[in-house]
């Protein structure tokens, strides 16, 4: 008997999450043109390619293991992990200044971890890996702001992409648990991921509008009070 309910992350959501994660890498490095990355887009594309091939191998390993070929699955798993690690190492050891390489390597590692989450290897780890991957992507974006001269707009877009990647990945996992991969789920995933991305665009727009107001001469005490207010609001918001 074929099992009708296969609890794995759904395909559409996984693809959306990976696309958003790749978007993070692209945006955080100003689409490969950030200073310090000598051969720019090409090496970045290569590293991402190796990373995605690694993730694809992990997916293949899971599919082969379900059919019962444990040895082949093990080999594919090793190859997949090698691909995921290899992509990160390729960037880290590549040409360019150290800060640029750190940022790119971290973001590529985020793609790899998120990819391992949506590859249906261990269903109980999927949600944790997706969150970890998104966290690594977030750290990469913040590092991009600290270490490189990437533009504010690209970084904000990268941040939104990281949240969208997590949102799509988490939904792929939850839909996979409740509905399974055999059902048609893509309309739900596309609609809701689009809603999240649209809201992100609004946030970026609002942030830019505030930035354009160019408020500069705030006294230090006022700034501190503002920060305290921000933290209070955030804690209140998190209480949903």
Partner 1 sequence: MTTVRRTRRWRGVVAVALFACAIGLLVQDATVLLLGAVGAGYAAYPWLSSPPSVELAVERSVEPTDPAAGDEVSVTVRVRNVGSETLSDVRLVDGVPPMLTVCSGTPRHAAVLRPGGTTEFTYAVRAEHGRHQFDPTTVLARDVTGATEVETTVHAETAVACAASVPEVPLRRQTRHGTGTVPTDEGGSGTEFHQTREYRTGDPLSRIDWKRRAKTGELTTVEFREERLASVVLCLDARAPAYRAAGDEEPNAVACGREGLSQLLTALADTRNPVGLAAVGRESCWLPPGSGDDHLARARRRVGSHPAFSTLPPSPETDWETDGQLRQLRRRLSPGTQVVLFSPLADEAMTAFALELEGAGTAVTVVVPDVTTTATRGGQLAAIERTERIRRLRSAGVRVVDWSPSDPLGPELLRAQEGLA
Q: Taking contact as CB under 8 A, which single stretch among the options 42-50, 63-71, 101-109, 227-235 is the one that binds partner 1?
A: 227-235
97 is a contact residue toward partner 1 (CB under 8 A): no
Of residues 152, 225, 226, 228, which one binds partner 1 by CB under 8 A?
152
DSSP letters, the chain, are: ---S---S--HHHHHHHHHHHHHHHHHHTTTTTSTT-TTHHHHHHHHHHHHHHHHHHHHHHHHHHHTT-HHHHHHHHHHHHHHHHHHHHHHHTSSS-HHHHHHHHHHHHHHHHHHHHHSSS-TTTHHHHHHHHHHHHHHHHHHHHHHS---HHHHHHHHHHHHHHHHHHHHHHHHHHHT-TTS--HHHHHHHHHHHHHHHHHHHHHHHHHHHT------HHHHHHHHHHHHHHHHHHHT-
Of residues 121, 159, 165, 197, which one binds partner 1 by CB under 8 A?
159
187 is a contact residue toward partner 1 (CB under 8 A): yes
Backbone angles phi, psi at 2, to 5 degrees: -80, 140
219 is a contact residue toward partner 1 (CB under 8 A): no
233 is a contact residue toward partner 1 (CB under 8 A): yes
CB of 191 to partner 1, least distance (A): 5
Of residues 75, 85, 131, 132, which one binds partner 1 by CB under 8 A?
131
Of residues 27, 50, 52, 155, which one binds partner 1 by CB under 8 A?
155
In this complex, which beta carbon is closest to partner 1, that of residue 221 or of residue 235?
Answer: 235
CB of 164 to partner 1, least distance (A): 10
163 is a contact residue toward partner 1 (CB under 8 A): yes
What's the full length of the chain, in residues? Answer: 240
| Site residues for partner 1 per CB under 8 A | 1-2, 4-5, 131, 138-139, 141-142, 145-146, 152, 155-156, 159-160, 162-163, 167, 170-171, 174-175, 178-180, 182-185, 187-188, 191-192, 195-196, 199-200, 202-204, 206-207, 210-211, 227, 230-231, 233-235, 237-238, 240
């Amino acid at each position: 008997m074929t099992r009708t309910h296969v609890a794995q992350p759904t395909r559409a959501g996984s693809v959306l999450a990976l696309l958003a994660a790749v978007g993070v890498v692209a945006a955080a490095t100003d689409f490969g043109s950030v200073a310090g990355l000598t051969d720019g887009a090409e090496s970045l594309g290569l590293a991402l390619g190796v990373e995605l091939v690694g993730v694809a191998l992990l997916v293949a390993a899971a599919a082969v293991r379900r059919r019962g070929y444990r040895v082949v699955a093990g080999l594919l798993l090793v190859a997949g992990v090698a691909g995921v690690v290899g992509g990160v190492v390729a960037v880290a050891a590549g040409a360019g200044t150290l800060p640029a390489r750190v940022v790119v390597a971290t973001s590529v590692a985020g793609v790899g971890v998120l990819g391992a989450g949506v590859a249906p290897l261990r269903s109980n780890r999927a949600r944790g890996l997706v969150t970890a991957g998104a966290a690594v992507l977030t750290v990469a974006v913040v590092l991009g702001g600290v270490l490189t001269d990437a533009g504010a707009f690209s970084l904000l877009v990268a941040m939104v992409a990281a949240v969208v990647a997590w949102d799509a990945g988490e939904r792929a996992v939850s839909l996979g648990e409740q509905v399974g991969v055999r059902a048609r789920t893509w309309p739900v995933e596309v609609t809701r991921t689009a809603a999240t991305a649209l809201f992100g665009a609004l946030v970026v727009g609002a942030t830019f509008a505030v930035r354009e107001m160019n408020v500069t001469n705030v006294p230090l005490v006022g700034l501190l009070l503002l920060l305290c207010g921000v933290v209070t609001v955030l804690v209140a918001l998190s209480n949903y």
